[in-house]
Amino acid sequence: MTNAHAFTFAKLGEPGEISLQDFAGKAVLIVNVASACGFTPQYRDLEALYEAKVAKGLVVIGVPCNDFGHQEPGEEAAIREFCDTSYHVTFPMAGKIEIVGKDRRHPFYKWIAEELGEGALPRWNFHKFLIGKNGQIAEAFPSKATPLGPTMLEAIDKALAA
């Protein structure tokens, strides 16, 4: 049975890839992000969450996507600069991908659709998937779920304790 550890993402604006296999034994929060969205300020909370929980085994991965409202139109260098200067992002950032185009959808999101159904895929920016230490989907959170809110923190703490 495939799990999240089977997938990789290109790194944002630099050679190499982010292999989810490298995070086996850790909880991973994967968030599709955009620079020009009403939810973009969540970068601040995602960074705070990452800084607070990375030593406990949480990894946050931002995945830029222009599929929702065309709110991530920039090239990868511009996205990287925005994240660095506006929100001082230190968590890993993946290269820009597509989520909704069935023919070009990133394999991770194809897997999400196979596991949870098409309806579980993001419908907007800042949708979040929490992957447990075992590589299985622990929980999904809509865009409105705040990274430092009690619902998300409880789920993350549970995934870290498992």
CA 37 to chain centre: 15
83 in catalytic set: no
**141-80-132 Cα angle (round to 5):** 30
The Cα-based distances of 25 to 2, 48, 90, 131, 144 in angstroms read 16, 21, 21, 10, 28
3-state SS, residue 9: strand
Phi, psi (deg, nearest 5) at residue 130: -100, 120
CB 94 within 8 A of CB 64: yes
Please tell me which residue in 37, 58, 131, 159 is annotated as part of the active site: 37
Name the CA radius of gyration of the chain, rounded: 14
- Residue 38's closest CA among 81, 12, 69? 69
The residues carrying an active-site annotation are 37
